[in-house]
Amino acid sequence: MNLLITGAWQEAREHFDEIKALGHSIVFMQQEKDVLPCDSGWVEGTICNGLFLHHPIDAFPNLRFIQLTSAGFDRVDMDYVQSHGIEIHSARGVYSIPMAEFALCGVLRLYKQTRFFEENRRAHRWEKHRGLRELFGKTVVIVGCGSVGTECAKRFSAFGCRVIGADIAPRADEAYESMLPIDKLDGILPSADVLVLTVPLTRETERLIDRRRLSLLPKTAVIVNISRGKVLDESALIEQLAAGRLSGAVLDVFETEPLEEDSPLWSMDNVIITPHNSFVGEGNGERLGEVISRIIQQV
């Protein structure tokens, strides 16, 4: 197979010999927005991330295989992929561990008021805070119980939390106390001390957490979004936070990225903002290599 591999796979060059030994030909391009280094008709498969945001997928007439370095499919025209019988794989499971650690860390930062203590440290000010909270015994609702959601469930459970999952295909899973269909979400949101969003972005999940559903959460709730920005109604979230109807938010993804400089979220003390960075971890390279090596051997 003729493979176009992009710099989205940072360790790609380390695997070239292995891929070529399987009989595949390789052309490499570092930046996906650049001009293609080969004729698009040559390409039969690609290992990439956002390649089709810069080059129309229908410009590759012989494309039959896509391996993404991302966990989601939202940067690819899935209707086109399915209608043309293109085999597609994601990097499912590669980033789940660092993302789950990030979610837990963010909630603990809010519960333990780390911003308050950091500001005092910088000011050389000795001042106690009597409003620290315990994670133990809290109810955590995880929307999207795939690999990322399940790694989150394991970690919150280890802190003594009650973990309830909501998923499009509920199942029995020891990481969760229970798992319900997503259409039953309204019934469990009023009990959520922490709401973690790890669901993929699809037509069905866009604005899944809207103004109405945000209003179902208790005032003490913290919301964590490590899925995609459009899963959450950002303007409604800002309204709820500004009105004191939510305790805080941990946000790694946004409706528009980068987050606009004038967004009110930047100045809210009860909001943690990171630039779509929760997936980063030193084990990702090895995990991604293992995933791609396994799949490419089956092509």
Phi-psi region of 6 (alpha: psi -120 to 50; beta: other; left: phi over 0): beta
Active-site annotation holds for 162: no
CA 86 to CA 151: how far, in whole Å? Answer: 30
Active-site annotation holds for 24: no
Cβ within 8 Å of residue 46, ≥6 positions away = 3, 4, 5, 6, 60, 63, 65, 66, 67
Active-site pick, 11, 14, 118, 257: 257
Active-site annotation holds for 18: no
Active-site pick, 32, 213, 228, 234: 228
Tell me the H-state helices in the chain.
16-21, 51-54, 78-83, 96-111, 114-122, 147-158, 185-188, 211-216, 234-242, 284-296
Q: Is the peptide bond before 190 cis (omega within 30 degrees of 0)?
A: no
Q: Is there a contact between 27 and 5 (Cβ–Cβ < 8 Å)?
A: yes
Helix (H, G, I), strand (E, B) or coil at 29: strand
Active-site pick, 64, 115, 276, 287: 276
Partners of 65 in the beta sheet?
45, 87
Helix or strand (DSSP H, E) at 48? strand 45-48
Helix (H, G, I), strand (E, B) or coil at 74: coil
Cβ within 8 Å of residue 70, ≥6 positions away = 8, 49, 90, 91
Active site residues: 228, 257, 276
